[in-house]
Amino acid sequence: MPGAFNYQSLLLFRSDLSSKCFLHYTVPMKKTAQEIRILRKELQKTRQLEAKVLAKEIRGRGGFGITDKIREKIPEKAMTSLEVAFEKGFTLIFTKGDSLIDKMGIEKARRQYEIYADSLDKMIYEETLKAVDKAAGSRSALTKGITTAEGSGLGIFGLGLPDIPIFLAMLLKTSYEIAAAYGIDFRDEREKRYTLALFNTIFSEGHDKEAFSEECDAIGEAIDNWEDIDTEIRQEDIELVSNTLATDLLVAKFLQGFTFAGVIGGPINLHMVHKVSKIAKIKYKKRFLRRLLIAAYDEHII
């Protein structure tokens, strides 16, 4: 558990981050000027990438074309049945599935990060930051491979409804594993709220995505600054995430419910996991870099 804040240094740096204009302070720094420059450069690059990715998705070019054509053909009764199964599955996995997901290889990501954290504590090099990135990418790539096989295999055998909790677990695993690769523990009850905001950002459409992204960032900054946040997860919060996920995921699961078309479920599953990993990697990397910058001014924060 982190020690007490040095609020003077934190407030100075928070103002710095908000304005994106880095000023010279008399506050003692734990890191050298060169290390600070490296972190600022990486944070700026990450922000630029995020703006580019979100802008593209807001314009509507981030979708999976085949789902739009199939969506119109899904019978209302089938859609309703899948919707009910989906909401129950997400509630079950999100509220009671942590121990199961934690056994799916996330501990390895934690141990790998601890090695990098020891190195970063001594000296921050660009090579080390790239290694952390590579580790986060390799974990999500592994999940993509498992999910593609799972989706194609189940589709071939005509399975759909019973598999929804398994697939949702894979989506959450993707996010949790990337978080662990950047030194963030999804088991922290405060991170539950962040995960909901993150998934709303990932699966929302149009300008709703921008609003959810801002909410996601605000929650992340509050957590990283050790501010008090509301940790209660309400059913309506889960339902909101379920609604943003429903369109894309229900199409994938509907296809898996029919043997002759089931193999398409694999590529769509891969697409869904890719959507999670793409945004989660940017968001968690941004928090990772910001935490290192804050720690440069106050060694007790991380």
Cβ burial 125-159 (10 Å sphere, 16+ → b, else e): eeebbebbbebbeebbeebbebbbebbbbbbeeeb
**Using CA atoms, how far apart are residues 44 and 206, in angstroms rounded to an integer?**
24
> Furthest-apart CA pair in the chain: how many Å?
68
**82, 256 in Cβ contact below 8 A?**
no
For 24-39, write each residue's pLDDT tens digit: 333 445 788 899 999 9
Nearby residues of 251 by Cβ (< 8 Å), 6 or more positions away: 67, 70, 71, 74, 268
For 185-227, write each residue's pLDDT tens digit: 998 989 999 999 999 999 887 788 999 999 999 999 999 998 9
Nearby residues of 43 by Cβ (< 8 Å), 6 or more positions away: 286, 289, 290, 293
- Phi, psi dihedral angles at 211 (to 5 degrees): -65, -45
**Using CA atoms, how far apart are residues 97 and 195, in angstroms rounded to an integer?**
14
pLDDT at 84: 77
DSSP helix/strand/coil, 194: helix
For 127-139, write each residue's pLDDT tens digit: 999 999 999 987 6
CB atoms within 10 A of CB 267: 17
User: Would you state the structure tokens that stand for residue 220, as one six-digit string?
Assistant: 């992340």
Cα torsion angle, 267, 53, 282, 246, sign: negative
Would the pLDDT of 41 be above 90? yes
Cβ neighbourhood burial of 15 (10 Å; 0-12, 13-18, 19+): exposed
CB atoms within 10 A of CB 106: 22
User: First vs last Cα of the chain: how many Å apart?
Assistant: 9
More confident residue, 51 or 233: 51
pLDDT at 98: 87
Would the pLDDT of 40 be above 80? yes
Could you tell me where the DSSP H helices lie in the chain? 7-19, 33-58, 65-71, 76-96, 98-102, 106-122, 126-156, 164-181, 189-203, 208-224, 235-256, 265-297
Q: Which one-letter DSSP state was computed for residue 13? A: H
For 91-132, write each residue's pLDDT tens digit: 888 988 888 888 877 888 899 999 999 999 889 999 999 999
| Alpha carbons within 13 A on the beta-carbon side of 91 | 13
Cα dihedral 154→145→110→7 (10° resolution): -100
Question: What is the percentage of the chain residues whose pLDDT exceeds 70?
Answer: 68
DSSP helix/strand/coil, 206: coil
Average pLDDT, the chain: 76
pLDDT at 28: 47
**Using CA atoms, how far apart are residues 175 and 173, in angstroms rounded to an integer?**
5
